Amino acid sequence: MGTIVGSGDYRYEVIEGFGKLPDDWTFHEVAAVAVDDKDQVYCFTRGKHPVIVFDRNGNFLRSWGDGVFKRAHGATIGADETIFLTDDGDHTVRKCTLDGKILMTIGVPGKAAPYQGGEPFNRCTHVAFSPKGEVYVSDGYGNSRVHKYSPDGKLLLSWGESGSDPGQFNIVHNIVTDKDGWVYVADRENNRVQVFDGNGKYETQWNNMHRPCALYMDTTKKDPICYIGELGPGLGVNKEAPNLGNRVDVYDRTGKRLARLGDIHAGEKPGQFIAPHGLAIDSRGDIYVGEVSRTIMGQHLKPPRELRTLQKLKKLG
């Protein structure tokens, strides 16, 4: 057995080298990961082949999206087995079939709304769904907002502004929902997850985390578990400090941390992370982690080389 991470009911074996790419292909970076009802794994990448699909054993199945996306950021499977892809470089959310046909585009391709003006979108980041199929979009890098859309793409409401008080945001980086319709928002640079009702009313927040970046929650379960990927330090003065992010944490729905996955140091050894940016869980409880390692570390590499950008953690017990 390989390296084991986690504790208690949340122990995982690190599967090295998951994702067998065709010759001369690279991920470059895996910004997001999604899993369909057949446990096929969709990697939304920042390389030449934006969407790369594997079976649960890591065998290559297909790819699509070449030339369509500018900068991959978020991927979410819808209830109707479509996939919503959030492109923060193009300021759009595209709803696609699982083989790549575009069904709907929210946002104007290539056109950003005014910076921090509140109108959608300025570098949107991710998508989640209400129990009724309404679409929440976290927005994002150039806004401090969450937008709620009807299933057919009509804007219903928006909330949030720049700041650090309850209901305010400092980089709205990810979003998930639960079966009861609560909305969980990764407020990355405020080091917290904020919880709202379905119409944007602030309820509570989870603290004691470092730059929450990736979120995953199973929307079908009564008491779902929330998985949170944390980034490490973003400043040169503390980039080598231990025990600050670079891990995946497991929380219950009340915000209690149940387990911590990963070493206290960033790295590429088994059991370490560099930049967990996207998360997905399959039907067996295995975790797929997409990392934007090049964005975080690439500028420091001499000479440049490929970094690990995709990991699988196999659930034990």
In this predicted model, what pLDDT tens digit does every residue of 161-214 receive, in sequence order? 999 999 999 999 999 999 999 999 999 999 999 999 999 999 999 999 999 999
Is the pLDDT assigned to residue 79 strictly greater than 90?
no
Task: Name the domain count of the chain.
Answer: 1
Domain, as residue range, for 81: 4-315
Q: Which residue has the higher pLDDT, 247 or 301?
A: 247
- Rounded to an integer, what distance in angstroms lies between the CA atom of residue 248 and that of residue 259? 9
- Report field, pTM of the whole predicted structure over 0.85: yes
Averaged confidence pLDDT in the chain: 95
**Residue 299: per-residue pLDDT:** 55
**Residue 305: per-residue pLDDT:** 72
**Residue 123: per-residue pLDDT:** 98
**Residue 227: per-residue pLDDT:** 98
Is the pLDDT assigned to residue 18 strictly greater than 80?
yes
Amino acid at 233: P
Mean pLDDT of 62-90: 96
pLDDT band at 303 (very low <50, low <70, confident <90, very high): low
Mean pLDDT of 268-277: 94
CATH number, position 221: 2.120.10.30
Mean pLDDT of 211-235: 93
pLDDT band at 239 (very low <50, low <70, confident <90, very high): confident
